[in-house]
Amino acid sequence: MDIFGSFALLLALLAAVYAFAAGIAGILTRRALLTKSARNAGMAVFGLVTLAVASLEYFFFTDNFSLAYVSEHSNRALPLYYKFSALWAGQEGSLLFWTWLLSIYAFSALFLNRKKHPELMPYVGVTLAAVQIFFLTLNNFVVSPFHVLGGMDASGAMHVARLSEGSGLNPLLQYYEMVIHPPILYLGYTGFTVPFAFAMAALLGRYPGEKWIHITRRWTMVAWCFQTVGILLGAHWAYAVLGWGGYWAWDPVENAALLPWITGTAFLHSVMMQEKRGMMRVWNVWLVFVTFMLCILGTSLTRSGVVSSVHAFAESSIGGWFFTFLGITFLVCLAAWFKNRDYLRSDNQLDSLVSRESSFLFNNLILLAACFAVLWGTLFPVLSEAVTGNKISVGPPFFNKVNVPIALFLLFLTGVGPLLAWRKTSYDALRRNFAWPLVGGVVAGAVGFAFGFRQFYPVICLILSVFVTLTIAAEFYRGARVISARDGTNLLTAVGELTMRNTRRYGGYVVHFGMVLIFIGITGSAFNQDIQKEMAIGQSIQIGPYTILCQNFDQPSTDNYTSDRATLEVLRNGKSEMMLYPEHRVYIASQVPETMVAVESTPLRDLYVVYAGTSPETGKPVIHAYLNPLVKWIWFGGIVVVLGTGLALFPDRRATLVLRPATEKSWGDAISQGASGTPATSPVASAPIRRSGADD
Amino acid sequence: MKARKKFIIGSGIIIATLLSLAYVGYTQSKTYYHTISELPTLQGATLHQRMRVSGNVRAGSITHRDGRTDFVLEEEGKALAVSYVGSDPLPDTFKDGAQALVEGRLQPEGGFVAEQVQAKCASKYEATPGATQPGASPVQSPGQSMNQSGSPAGTGKS
């Protein structure tokens, strides 16, 4: 079976090489048959890699410990779903898994477009094949997961060793989120390959117009969504499992995932400039290129050990391969751009500072600044060592100082941008759209200030969050009111109708709202408290409104691990609220410690209690309690972001064009609304105008 | 192009602000990496910088005192006496022989006061001490794997 798997991998490489070579030949000779066979080879890669993955999974499920990879990452007692996820527990397997996901994307892109875009697709196929060749080379020759335990004896004969038991999966990975977090993050990383391939194809083939952007719009959203969820799941895993009370530490591995997310976000926004106004062509092509390269850089950073990380992936020699690939990719991008740069000329110029265009420009500028700051901070130890000989690292204060204002400015743009008109926005329109949300925000800020919010950034964030939420709500309300007035439906049905007619726009608003929730959750960290104390039975600690009373300590050890556990009663205002059981385990086989955090999570705050260890002097247990406000909003915001993206992926429902004039009722409605100070223009007159100005 | 000019000025202000913030953040959090053997060669201002030093914890050197933990880090034959004064409990992985990374400042009399200590076993992802090390030698003899797995479990087949 191991021969079967490695043979499938080798065939996959050959198929990819053929797809690459025949694809180029097809483009040069313009022979349809050659192009078609190149495409089929590209799709065949998927089938072959699938066979290799299935073969490796078969080894895991049958506990075949003759394979080095299986024996290192599994054991007999491992639950079935962890045996499945052990596929990506180590370097060899996760790279195979990576290749497989990439092949799924490549297959889908080639298959779904097999009868479309005959001028573009051959280039797409060649680009996808080139990326696959790189990963398949690694899978086959550098970090093959199909290495068999064993070796040559003195006489030169091969011995195959088969262990009766594997060393098991790292307990830190034995957590349900670890089954889904890596695949989802990888789906994000690999997904950006498709827009990259299309951008490269459009550039090389000088494909006319903005069509490649229309084709890849959904692909980019899918990849972006996976990346978002992947990052949040990783943060949640760190929060729930690692037991240090936080979810984000600006660790290189986290940064590596954040970088392509930032440029991907910038791209999703700036493509609208190109679609509507034919601007930013060079910028967009480079944003896709950079996003793809950051995905590769992220992988190489985490895999090569160039930058030290608490995540401590296996350090290995494959960093060099990745950096070489990165260099080649960059040169190819540079050459493709240089040769075809005349094709990317802009149609239009910026007309006014107060316009949709300029809000997108600022959005991109600021996202790129964030990306650059994070990249710089992550690579700083390497860069400083190369330049000055001193290895210097920068910590969270650096990242926070730069990124918090950037994030708040982005939040501001989230509220302002969508309501500005293309080209130029009049003062009247500004007042109409923003007066009430701004008042609402300032009132919220004042209330917050009165209730004791004194720190600068949290107050700003509160004002902006309310402001953005109100602008989004006003957008839905205005649109829905027009529909409900015309069709006579109630407002809620009208909101649904409105959303389904322009899923991209209103889905985008939902995503924005999800981001507001995430911002609120992150702002909560400004009010974190924690306390750490040695405790004996009967003693208590006070944190926020809670009193934590220590009831008991025990050692519920099993065959698998030794454990220390505390039984804590949580009281609030003298009333017993709940029991918490923080636990500290050491797995016997691997000697890996694991902290079982006890979290009581409410929308307002998390009470997060850790059994931190035993005091070396007194032998008493040390309990570390954290009070983290609003953390739950982050996870909930993530769900809203996913729903919004899902909505935006839906095809628009074709609006039935009703060309009869609006009923009198709607006119009266509009006038009464206008008198009360809400947007004064008649909905019938304003809606079509605004609609045409909106982003698709 | 008036709008263009305005945009460029606006961008300039934003970037200048961010750069100054970045500089402040950098000076607040920059930490130098040094090896133990480098420490005696440091002079002047570099002596008082915040720094990170890594090494292996000398077996038997960990002593807990009131409010602090003393231990000795070793690297390439050089040793450094460290006092950990932070409030967090030391990580579980911090024990004799562990690879540790300490962050803090050098004292005038030569010791090192650490505010943070990180420690790790050889590698978390290949956690078992003595387990087969991937990458080191992909093909291992049956005898080796048996010894390393610590259980007489290997059944060699030719």
Q: What is the pLDDT of residues A522-555, one digit of tens each?
A: 999 988 988 888 888 889 999 988 999 999 888 8
- Under the banding of pLDDT at 50, 70 and 90, the label for residue A164 is confident
Task: Give CA–CA dist A102/B28, Å, rounded.
Answer: 41
Share of chain A above pLDDT 70, in %: 89
Locate tokens 């007309």: which residue?
A351
Among the residue ranges A56-70, A342-356, A634-648, the one predicted with the least confidence is A342-356
* CB contacts, 8 Å: A373 with chain B: 18, 22
- Minimal Cβ distance to B69: which of A92, A590, A616: A616
- pLDDT surpassing 80 at residue A167: no
Pick the closest to residue A274 from A290, A262, A285 (CA basis).
A285
Q: Do B142 and A161 touch (CB under 8 A)?
A: yes
Task: Give CA–CA dist A502/A131, Å, rounded.
Answer: 35
**Same structural domain for residues A554 and A621?**
yes
Mean pLDDT of A170-178: 76
Among A588, A615, A632, the domain-final residue is A632
Q: Do B3 and A397 touch (CB under 8 A)?
A: no
Mean pLDDT of B121-138: 34
> How far away is chain B from the Cα of A615, in angstroms, using its nearest Cα?
8
Q: Do A592 and B127 touch (CB under 8 A)?
A: yes
Give pLDDT, residue A690.
39
Mean pLDDT of A657-686: 45
**Same structural domain for residues A485 and A379?**
no
Give pLDDT, residue A659.
53
Task: Give CA–CA dist A20/A15, Å, rounded.
Answer: 9
Q: Domain segments of chain B: what residues?
A: 1-30, 32-120
Mean pLDDT of A654-683: 47
Residue-range definition of the domain harbouring residue A17: 1-150+160-174
Q: Do A373 and B22 touch (CB under 8 A)?
A: yes
Task: For chain B, give the mean pLDDT.
Answer: 70
Q: Do B145 and A351 touch (CB under 8 A)?
A: no
**Same structural domain for residues A377 and A349?**
yes
Pick the closest to residue A283 from A297, A270, A294, A296 (CA basis).
A270
Q: Do B128 and A590 touch (CB under 8 A)?
A: yes
Q: Is the dihedral of CA B130, B131, B137, B142 positive or negative?
A: positive
Is A124 in contact with A201 (CB distance < 8 Å)?
A: yes
Instruction: Round to the nearest angstrom and report the end-to-end CA distance of chain B.
Output: 80
- Minimal Cβ distance to B31: which of A362, A393, A400: A393
Closest residue, chain A, to B35 (C-alpha): A391
**Same structural domain for residues A438 and A412?**
no
Is A160 in contact with A150 (CB distance < 8 Å)?
A: yes
Per the structure, the count of domains in chain A is 4
**Same structural domain for residues A380 and A243?**
yes
**Same structural domain for residues A144 and A102?**
yes
Give pLDDT, residue A10.
95
Cα R_g (chain A), whole angstroms: 28
Q: Does any CB of chain B come closer than 8 Å to the CB of residue A420?
A: no
- pLDDT surpassing 90 at residue A372: yes
Task: Give CA–CA dist A317/A315, Å, rounded.
Answer: 7
What is the CB-side half-sphere exposure of residue A588 using CA atoms within 13 A?
7
**Same structural domain for residues A244 and A377?**
yes
Return the bridge partners of A436, or none: none
**Same structural domain for residues A289 and A397?**
yes
* CB contacts, 8 Å: B14 with chain A: 362, 365-366, 369, 409
Q: Does any CB of chain B come closer than 8 Å to the CB of residue A147?
A: yes
Task: Give CA–CA dist A245/A609, Å, rounded.
Answer: 8
Task: Specify if A641 maps to a domain.
Answer: no
> What token pair was written down for B73?
């880090």
Among A599, A632, A665, the domain-final residue is A632
Q: Do B125 and A148 touch (CB under 8 A)?
A: no
* Range among A245-259, A609-623, B99-113 rated most confident: A245-259
Task: Give CA–CA dist A676/A671, Å, rounded.
Answer: 9
Distances (CA, A) of A600 to A553, A554, B11: 19, 21, 44
Among the residue ranges B3-17, B90-104, B140-154, the one predicted with the least confidence is B140-154
Distances (CA, A) of A218 to A199, A225, A283, A589, B98: 14, 10, 19, 47, 49
Q: Do A161 and B154 touch (CB under 8 A)?
A: yes
- pLDDT surpassing 90 at residue A231: yes
Mean pLDDT of B1-26: 84
Answer with the residue of higher pLDDT: A601 or A1: A601
Is A141 in contact with A132 (CB distance < 8 Å)?
A: no
Q: Which CATH superfamily is domain B32-120 in?
A: Nucleic acid-binding proteins (2.40.50.140)
**Same structural domain for residues A592 and A492?**
no
Q: What is the pLDDT of residues A56-94, one digit of tens each?
A: 999 999 888 888 888 888 888 888 888 888 888 888 888
**Same structural domain for residues A43 and A168?**
yes
Q: Do A147 and B138 touch (CB under 8 A)?
A: yes
What is the DSSP annotation of A78-146?
A: S-HHHHHHGGGSSHHHHHHHHHHHHHHHHHHHHHHTTTS-TTTHHHHHHHHHHHHHHHHHIIIIIS-TT
φ and ψ of B137, to 5 deg: -145, 110
* CB contacts, 8 Å: B30 with chain A: 392-394, 398
Return the bridge partners of B57, or none: B73
Q: What is the pLDDT of residues A177-229, one digit of tens each?
A: 778 888 999 999 999 999 999 999 999 988 877 788 888 888 999 999 999 99
Task: Give CA–CA dist A244/A257, Å, rounded.
Answer: 21
Q: What is the pLDDT of residues B57-71, one digit of tens each?
A: 888 888 887 778 888
Cα R_g (chain B), whole angstroms: 24
Interface test with A, best of B20, B71, B128 (most A CBs within 10 A): B128
- pLDDT surpassing 90 at residue A643: yes
**Same structural domain for residues A364 and A329?**
yes
| CA triple A480-A483-A484, angle to 5 deg | 80
Chain B contacts in chain A segment 64-93 (CB below 8 A): 68-69, 71-72, 89-92
**Same structural domain for residues A414 and A484?**
no
Task: Give CA–CA dist A561/A592, Å, rounded.
Answer: 9
